A and B are shown apart, each in its own frame.
Chain A
């Protein structure tokens, strides 16, 4: 069984490679689509450069070669972890991006746990209290948060909880000047995390609550529920032992699918809350017109999605015995 699961993981990893390649190609095409190339940027930085010097630079960077060759060179560089040079930050993109990965992972992890956990719980509550005030309230809340733009939720939360009530800090990941260590530091980060994680969760929480509710209702109509009733099980037992687990499967699938959109959302949330992660870096590089950096973030976030999807796939094989590991 363990061997089969290991083979499954290996196979899924291999299957991700062509997707990764495709994304690298898209990356390269975007780079080429942009007006001006690295040499133009360098020349712009330097103030002025002679055409001869620029041609020399192009030859040095291989930019004078045919596109397929350039693509190959680009892929070779990416393969060894070389994402180019950030002209704005004056350091390798890879290094810069990895520095900012941690905060984004914290935000993402908190969001996924909150959204899936609270979302399915609310969906469960709504479905078990079908057509009561509980159901109506949850459904209305879900509808509203499903329709609200992330940046606006963030700003409104800041307005209410930071500006007016003063409960949470408005921005950043920790109080830099306090030099907290150990648990104090963890506590400080958590304190900073509440608002951004809530903001990013709300939308997905609404999505999962609606999905869970619908899924519970659908599963309640299945034949095996009738069987369970015919066995004399109590409604409680039927809901918690039979319906719940079946109803969770589509939520887990959706959670996997939504990871990529969640990373997109983190650009906005990190920008609003000054959370020092990849998203904020993307926003900064956008205005610095630091295309290399932007593409590096893009590629890394795609890799992140692939990794999370793999984790969801593995979780799914545990949840659903019908998935064959072969």
Chain B
């Protein structure tokens, strides 16, 4: 067979009438060859996922449909095939893995049974025993421990990484020619992500399938791509080999995107100028008790165990770790959304840990928080002005003055003061996060606790918000506790970092030193798992806002 395995030409995906634009995907063309991994990269709204679904024939038709162009697979145009033939191809010649393996698997069916279904539908000749043999062999190949037990398990009984492995097994059971992977590692922790990426690359090499890999993460791209397609607003802005796009990007958008990626090498920074301590945390502990009743003893989960660190004035202290490491629990204890079971939180000689709600009130304003989800952190029924003014009003400022200050704060975080009259739903994620920061600043705190403040944002917006936080820290002399799972962000933002694992701080120190020579085994594993760690982004000069157009 001549020509590429998959050849997309002039693909348009039309949105229903009344949407904010006519096409989600416009005039997209690229190819995927046999045995090739092509990464389709873009931020949210770039149309990358819909392109993948158009290839699979999984668009939510008739509302969203491929309206023009062709998708040739092994020489046949998929878009003109009758539905029954397309269905016959799916699962056998073309298969797909998804972002969220928990919801992508049927909760009421065992993993083995769900894999077996592919065989029942596409390989009717196999006997039950042959099917079982094939499934167990593949479960072993995706390195799931104890395949017979895994096959008999329900999805909720597996870990996130195990579920994704099972998904991969399901996709590969019939040796498809093309594997479409839609952000398959985004929902996973960084160490698990590294394992899954390695697995995909390895299986791809062994089975010789073509892979169309959708992602927003250039680190992941650098890790596995042979060729790269960059999409923005439904169009392809640049395509080429991994080397050329990563190291010599041509399109302004690609250049801006790559420039926005935080480097893993910590930025050089001044030594802490002040020796004064803003916040001293000693032996902080928080234990949850789960379940427990008449017949079963309660299970104790140590979300945080003997956590100690010191935050100097004007310094940013990073707390890094994977999900479940306890970093968010620590953040919540610091702002006293949670009451710690043990330890002290010393703010200028006052221990916040044991204070009652009432006794805490005067100290509340001195430690404020920036939240992760810009869509959940603003009350949808209040105007931006109200949201910014309510804190100062609670602490006794006259409403008129509080409103005036709200307008000043909007200017400070780079928004037009006139937006004070508007409601949160009128703003983008990045703009909302600016409002969230302004709200925290409204009370003129000394310490800011930022809980994953940029992880819900696209990379170009992320860079702008990080710059804003750094800028504000300088200007207002804030001390910041910065919680993140992203080591790149930590490298750029934090003066010092503490690495958490299973509720404990396993290592802490000056960022540059920890990054240069991690001492603890877990820290080393964590660093080794950062996708694209060997790729050093080229130095590009990206003017502010270039990512925009």
Contacts and interface: CB of A to CB of B under 8 A. Distances in A.
Interface of A: 7, 11, 14, 222-224, 226-234, 237, 241-242, 245-246, 319-322, 326
Nearest to A321: B154
B62 interface: no
Interface stretch (B63-71, B86-94, B139-147, B325-333): B86-94
A230 B117 contact: no
A247 to B, nearest CB: 11
B108 A321 contact: yes
Contacts of A237: 117, 121
22 contacts: A11-B295, A14-B294, A222-B103, A223-B98, A223-B100, A223-B104, A224-B106, A226-B98, A227-B96, A227-B105, A228-B117, A229-B90, A230-B58, A231-B118, A232-B88, A233-B87, A233-B121, A246-B107, A246-B108, A319-B108, A320-B108, A322-B156
A1 to B, nearest CB: 12
Most buried by B among A242, A245, A246, A321: A321
A233 B117 contact: yes
Contacts of A230: 56, 58, 90-91, 95-96
B70 to A, nearest CB: 21
Contacts of A228: 106, 117
Contacts of A321: 107-108, 154, 156
B296 interface: yes
Interface string B380-405: 00000000000000000000000000
B293 A11 contact: yes
B268 interface: no
A264 to B, nearest CB: 31
A227 B166 CA distance: 12
Nearest to B83: A235
Contacts of B294: 11, 14
A245 B156 CA distance: 17
Contacts of B100: 223
A106 B167 CA distance: 48
Contacts of B122: 232
Given A320-B108, A322-B156, A231 B91 contact: yes
The 8 closest A-B pairs by CB, nearest first: A232-B91, A232-B90, A223-B103, A231-B91, A230-B96, A224-B106, A321-B154, A223-B104
A320 B106 CA distance: 11
A326 B292 CA distance: 10
Interface in B100-144: 100, 103-109, 117-118, 121-122
B170 interface: yes
A229 B98 CA distance: 12
B349 interface: no
A115 B117 CA distance: 32
Which of the four size classes fits the interface of chain B?
20 to 34
A34 B381 CA distance: 48
B291 interface: yes
Interface string B409-439: 0000000000000000000000000000000
B402 to A, nearest CB: 43
Contacts of A322: 107, 154, 156
A241 B107 CA distance: 12
Contacts of B293: 11
A222 B100 CA distance: 11
Contacts of A223: 98, 100, 103-104
A35 to B, nearest CB: 42
B80 to A, nearest CB: 18
A223 B60 CA distance: 12
A242 B109 contact: yes
A326 B291 contact: yes
Interface string B429-461: 000000000000000000000000000000000
Given A227-B104, A232-B122, 19 more contacts: A11-B295, A224-B103, A226-B58, A227-B106, A230-B90, A230-B95, A231-B91, A231-B95, A232-B87, A232-B89, A232-B118, A233-B117, A233-B121, A234-B121, A242-B106, A246-B107, A320-B107, A321-B107, A322-B154
A150 B146 CA distance: 57
A242 B92 CA distance: 20
A222 B60 CA distance: 12
Contact of A231 (B121, B154, B296): B121
Contacts of B109: 241-242
A228 B107 CA distance: 13
A281 B170 CA distance: 60
A11 B294 CA distance: 8
Contacts of B89: 232
Most buried by B among A11, A229, A231: A231
Given A14-B294, A229-B58, A230-B95, A224 B90 contact: no
Contacts of B170: 227, 231
Nearest to A234: B87
B381 to A, nearest CB: 26
Nearest to B87: A232
Most buried by A among B58, B92, B117, B167: B117
Contacts of B95: 230-231
Contacts of A320: 107-108
A48 to B, nearest CB: 55
Nearest to B95: A230
Contacts of A326: 291, 296
Nearest to A233: B121
Nearest to B167: A227
